Amino acid sequence: MDFEKLFQHPEYENYVCVNLALVFVCQLLKPYTEQGLQQVHQDIKNKLAGKSKCTGTCGNQPSRWCQPCKSWQKPLQSHSTKRPIDWTKHTTANWEESFENIASVFTTLPGDGTPANYLDLSNACSIWERCKAFEMKKVVINNVRKCRNKYFAHNDTLRVDGNSKAEVFDALRDLLNDKDVGSHIDKILCMDKLQKIMNTPCLQNTISNIKKNFDHQSEKTIESLSKSTAMVSEKCEILKDIQYELKKLNQNQTRVNLEIIDNLHDISKMVKTTNKSLKKHVLAMFVYIAVAFTIAGRYISGNNKPDWNGISSNNMANNIPAGKLKNFVFISFVL
Ligand SMILES: [Zn+2]
């Protein structure tokens, strides 16, 4: 695979965009997922109140479990749509401790003794489907799962075409619109954020497009840089802001609004005081903008250079930490 070519391809931008949207929605529905599991956990704890706890020696043979562990089986089964539950791999001893430890009963087991990761969309879909505490429509869950598998997890081309991207965002909108989810999120705000993720192209790619356009301009002036950004700024709010600032600089206005991107403050001061050697400073200005975007771009990938060793799409999903995603979303929206 030619990764250099891939990074420049709009369908790779779509792939990144789809990945971000899937992680975003799963993070968003974390409280919804947790509340449902908590409800089940509390219900069982109430039913078994006063009974003794596991001795901590129960293995993977249900027939040899202690009485307290066996007493969790029936109520857990009654909360599950899947019959029968395969009990052989469950770590029973800590069921009583936390709702997180019963999540694996409703989804695939990690196999390493750790609790199920319900921030993985695939696991979350299984939990919503198999745990009776959730009343999400089956068709909605199935569409989200299908999109996640087809366009992200099992997509070895790392490309997503426009129609498929639209299909993913439709499925995610249906998920946020589901009646059962409704009361757990601020729907208008979340839909707006999802829309912004959909419209945010990969910044690194955008910068290289600006550079390409700028290189082809015969006159390397603020005006030509302004033209270069205009050509790629249609779908990118950040570039629209820069375009706006550039226009003002180009009209030699003395007062420039510098609240949007701090870096532009230094750039504009430099440009205002050096009209004589404009060409040199326009180039410097471009470098400043590129640096600003590179920094912003790092919030998306977490790394400047992706580590392609042993890459799998599942790893990519797990490698976008919640904090970074929040930062990315925050930066995108503030800018
Ligand atoms: Zn036990």
Q: What is the pLDDT of residues 35-93, one digit of tens each?
A: 999 999 999 999 998 888 888 778 778 888 899 999 999 999 999 998 888 888 777 88
Distance 312 CA to ligand 1 centre (A): 37
- Runs of H (alpha helix) within the chain: 3-8, 10-28, 30-47, 67-78, 121-130, 138-147, 162-177, 179-182, 187-199, 203-216, 222-232, 237-250, 262-273, 278-301, 313-319, 322-334
Domain boundaries in the chain? 1-199, 203-301
Q: Which residues of 218-241 are buried (b: 16+ CB within 10 A; e: fewer)?
A: eebebbebbbbbbebbeebebbeb
Give the model's pLDDT for residue 2.
79
Distance 123 CA to ligand 1 centre (A): 25
Distance 95 CA to ligand 1 centre (A): 9
CB of 97 within 8 A of CB of 79? no
Distance 80 CA to ligand 1 centre (A): 20
Distance 40 CA to ligand 1 centre (A): 19
Distance 6 CA to ligand 1 centre (A): 52
Give the model's pLDDT for residue 45.
94
Give the model's pLDDT for residue 249.
53
pLDDT truncated to tens, each residue of the chain (335 aa)?
777 777 778 888 888 889 889 988 988 999 999 999 999 999 999 999 888 888 877 877 888 889 999 999 999 999 999 888 888 877 788 888 999 989 989 997 777 767 788 888 999 999 999 999 999 999 999 999 999 999 999 999 999 999 999 999 999 999 999 999 988 999 999 999 898 888 865 555 666 677 777 777 777 776 777 777 666 655 555 555 555 655 555 554 333 333 333 343 343 344 344 334 444 545 555 655 655 555 555 544 444 333 333 333 343 333 333 444 433 433 333 33
Of 12, 306, 22, 308, which is closest to residue 159 (Cα–Cα)? Answer: 12
Distance 126 CA to ligand 1 centre (A): 26
Distance 37 CA to ligand 1 centre (A): 21
What's the CA gap between 248 and 252, in Å, rounded? 7
* The amino acid at 103: A
What's the CA gap between 230 and 24, in Å, rounded? 29
CB of 40 within 8 A of CB of 102? yes
107 in helix, strand or coil?
coil
Distance 70 CA to ligand 1 centre (A): 7
Distance 194 CA to ligand 1 centre (A): 44
For residue 31, the tally of other CB atoms under 10 A from its CB is 12
Distance 119 CA to ligand 1 centre (A): 27
- Taking only the tens place, the pLDDT of each residue in 196-219 is 888 865 555 666 677 777 777 777
